[in-house]
Structure 1
């Protein structure tokens, strides 16, 4: 059933995200033409047109990044907390499956947004001579890496990449769950649900900042701080990188788990669709 929910989510969100991606890629082509010729002419009309195309490209990047988050939060709001919620909550699907379908789809769209933005920037900067220089530089770099690469660095490099991807996925889920928890809390109220949701979101942010600050103060000069200082002379730089990545992943998992519990509890016990 989770697969069916994800399929439905991809269809619903794809109607918005795919056209936005196409617009971004089209504006990147226009920005490329601008930087390759329109901005270097003496014609005022072409000069203004070139500036407008570059501005449109910058606005498109910001718009796609913002809309990727807005669409994901809006889907949770409309699908579970508005009129659709009456139907969705009657399906033979658990609340956990509803949430996970939205989290996984959101993480996929965030990753695609990053890929499309990078592709658009590459298209905007595309120049045959420039690309040949970059390719030659990467070829030399790759050959140098292959000459000096050992099993130690190969394994650790792969592990760092995997850890980074896991951290990005968990971070995206934790970020979405903050919005989900705030909306679920706000829609447990009988009136002014959106106002309560906004208030809940800012309250959550305040509590997180407060607890984070208190945690830093309490850890300073604590036994754990001294333990970490003692480790610095006994572990390698690569081990420190792995330790830091794992610590950040665990921190995001804890934060995400807290918001996940809040979201599921309010959706199960306190949801008010009236």
Structure 2
């Protein structure tokens, strides 16, 4: 049943995210053209058009991030806390499955948004002649040789580093979703001013997590991670960050699921 929930959620959100991804890539292409033609052209009008296209691309990049977050939050609120909640909670699924379907789909879209934005930046700044010069020049070879020297000198385990950073990125996306969900669930447990309570709880969560992180960073244990040296320092730091995200995620997940089970208020 979880698979069906995820499939349904992807279909509902893809109607919005798919066109947005296409629009941002088109804006990136127009921004690239403006960089290479309009801004270098003579005359006020071409320069104005080039500037407007670059501005539109910047606005689009910011809007894509904001809309992706708002959409995922609104899907949780409307689907489980709104009128649709009467239907969703009568399905033969548990509250855990409902929450997991939202977490998985939202995390995937957040990662997809980051990838599309990275691709859009590459499209915007792409220059065929420049890329040909870079990859065929001694500069690129020197960079490649320098990376190899660093790997040998410091014993860098690049595949392991990549895996750790990917795991941390995935957890960060999931925890961000859960923080929103926990705030919404608590806010909607009240009879009145549900949205205001949700916003208040979110900022309260932010304050507590930032305060706890700041206190932890100032401990001798955290400072000692940088005194280990070599790759062990990096791996232990990543392990600590991953454990912190798991702890935060576990707390927010418990708050969300318990609130949905004990204090659900759809009125």
What is the TM-score when the length of structure 2 is the normalising length?
Answer: 0.91
SS of corresponding position for 1:78 = helix
Once residues 197 and 148 of structure 1 are traced to their aligned partners in structure 2, the CA distance between those partners, rounded to angstroms, is 48
Map 1:222-241 onto structure 2 (within 5 A). 224=221, 228=224, 232=227, 235-241=228-234
- 1:86-109: CA deviations, max 9, x gaps? 101111111111111111111111
State the 1:43 CA deviation: 2.4
Q: Which residue of 1 aligns with 2:63?
A: 63
Once residues 188 and 148 of structure 1 are traced to their aligned partners in structure 2, the CA distance between those partners, rounded to angstroms, is 54
State the 1:42 CA deviation: 2.1
Q: 1:257 aligns with which of 230, 240, 250?
A: 250
Paired residues, number: 264
State the 1:75 CA deviation: 0.8
Gaps of 5+ in 1: none
2:260 matches 1:267: yes
Q: Which residue of 2 aligns with 1:122?
A: 122
Q: Which residue of 1 aligns with 2:41?
A: 41
Gaps of 5+ in 2: none
The answer to whether the 8 A contact 2:155-2:231 is kept is: no
- 1:188-229: CA deviations, max 9, x gaps? 111111111112112222222333444456x35xxx479x37
Aligned-residue RMSD, C-alpha: 2.3
Label 1:205 to 1:225 Cα distance change in 2 as closer, same or farther (>3 A): closer
State the 1:185 CA deviation: 0.3
Once residues 215 and 144 of structure 1 are traced to their aligned partners in structure 2, the CA distance between those partners, rounded to angstroms, is 35
Map 1:170-189 onto structure 2 (within 5 A). 170-189=171-190
Q: Which residue of 1 aligns with 2:74?
A: 74
Indicate the larger mover: 34-43 or 19-28.
Answer: 34-43
Once residues 97 and 141 of structure 2 are traced to their aligned partners in structure 1, the CA distance between those partners, rounded to angstroms, is 46
SS of corresponding position for 2:39 = helix
- 1:141-189: CA deviations, max 9, x gaps? 4466568866x947x2111110100000111111111110010001111
Q: Which residue of 2 aligns with 1:133?
A: 133
Once residues 6 and 127 of structure 1 are traced to their aligned partners in structure 2, the CA distance between those partners, rounded to angstroms, is 39
Map 1:175-214 onto structure 2 (within 5 A). 175-214=176-215
SS of corresponding position for 1:178 = helix
Once residues 12 and 222 of structure 2 are traced to their aligned partners in structure 1, the CA distance between those partners, rounded to angstroms, is 48
What is the TM-score when the length of structure 1 is the normalising length?
Answer: 0.89
State the 1:243 CA deviation: 0.2
State the 1:250 CA deviation: 0.2
